[in-house]
Structure 1
Amino acid sequence: MGAMTPAQGEATGQPGVLSIGGSVTEIVYALGEGDRLVARDTTSTFPVEAKALPDVGYMRALSPEGVLSVSPGLILSEEGAGPPETMEVLNASGVEIVTIPSVETGPGIADKIRRVGDALGVADKADALAANVEAEIAAARSRAEDLAGDAPKRVLFVLSMQGGRVMASGTGTAAASIIELAGGVNAVTEFEGYKPMTDEAVSRAEPDVILMMDRGGDHAIANEVLFGMPAFQPTPAAETGAIVRMDGLYLLGFGPRTAKAVTDLSQHLYGS
């Protein structure tokens, strides 16, 4: 069944839903409620059916006109949508807005699922999905720890390269959490969040593996170019050419597919 128009939503007694945030959209579909969506934001790229929906723009750069043009009866928004002035206009418009907390840990996914389910009036389905996802993540983590054994890999997550500078993950990030779940050790613990690192700091981190989002076009950087940079040349990762690239939403979204992402990453790190 395709996406409903706002009029169809009203006819069934259910408001047409605009989903903002890739993981929130994934949860809506995982709950079997995708046919209630009338639009999505640019970060909502999975499942493939979502791409057929009208796109209201990037979640942090929304315009009131773009959002209201799809006539949503309910906006399900991941925390961090904006800018603030847009959210003020939307709040004043009378459209119901439910904000779903952004989570960067495995245990937080179940709460996110339940909050989406409550907003959609399908709490029972959400409870079942949340329990299933929790069990899958626990099993994936256990398998990853077995693969890692007594020799966990040091993993450096590189968010971007800005002017030749490495923007990397420290502690308290989604990247740090997924690395730990997959049986790895975050190579950087000296700072929180994502920050630029000097070449010397990258070398001192001694990563065994470089982890990056799989970017295309102008944002892509070839393996040989990356490992030819002074920051990476002395690292164990450069010696073995160990680099893992994964889809950003899949890797860092912390949604229904996280258990599979943990398994895939651990297999990249240690082999199957």
Structure 2
Amino acid sequence: MSSLLFPAVPPLPHAGKVTQARVVRSEWTKLWSLRSTRFSIGAALLLTVGVAALACGVVAHHWPHMSLQDRQDFHPLEVNLAGVQIAQLAFGVLGVLVITGEYSTGMIRATMAAVPKRLPVLWAKVMVYGLVVLALATPATLIAFGMGEAIFARHHIDIAFSHPGVARAVFGAALYLTAVGLFGLAIGAIVRNTAGGIAAFAGILFVLPPLMNVLPTSWNNAASPYLPLPAGQAVMALTRGAHQLAPWTGLGLLCAYTAAALALASILLVRRDT
């Protein structure tokens, strides 16, 4: 009688053991199944290209009326990469959401039950999100550069891609956005709360540098270049300021900050969720 009321459930087919490749595939599916991913990445790409085109158009329009000093201080590449300054916020916030979204919905329990070792989940998120940002940010910065220089060419104030340092700055901008996105992911993994993660990310990158101005000038000049934001942005500058790190040194320091945050996140992940 009981067998009629509760029929035996056939065993599930053996799907194999958990591997890093399968965890990566799972994270890829989860990343693109969320609307926030498509909206945030779309906004970031639109900002990278659209803000650059708008800024270049405004500068080109006012160029005939600009003073001699303003023309001497002008550099086309700085305007070309104006969109990166805003897109970094979208990529960083999405990095936070990549992991805090699972904690807020409770889906992290299913994820950790499927991957008991915990750390493969974090590494999979890092690999998937890092590659996605790099793959999308690289063409976006190239398109922004091409559109901006096409606008500037009408006034003969453009700069060639072959000019020393330009290729490094354009491709470096994509690497910078990738590092910022992964830094946001690391902060989200540490805090495990969406609001707190976004606040911590914005505070470290965008609030801390202006606060350094309250320090004596000599202290500010000595410490500010080593903060994550100024350090990473050095890779996008063609001319090195008096208190600025070398381009690859600055980007390397930002990557070191990101690696340190990910290391802390991995330690906390094992200790808190085991």
TM score, norm. by length of structure 2: 0.26
Q: Which has the larger radius of gyration?
A: 2
TM score, norm. by length of structure 1: 0.26
The structure richer in strand per residue is 1
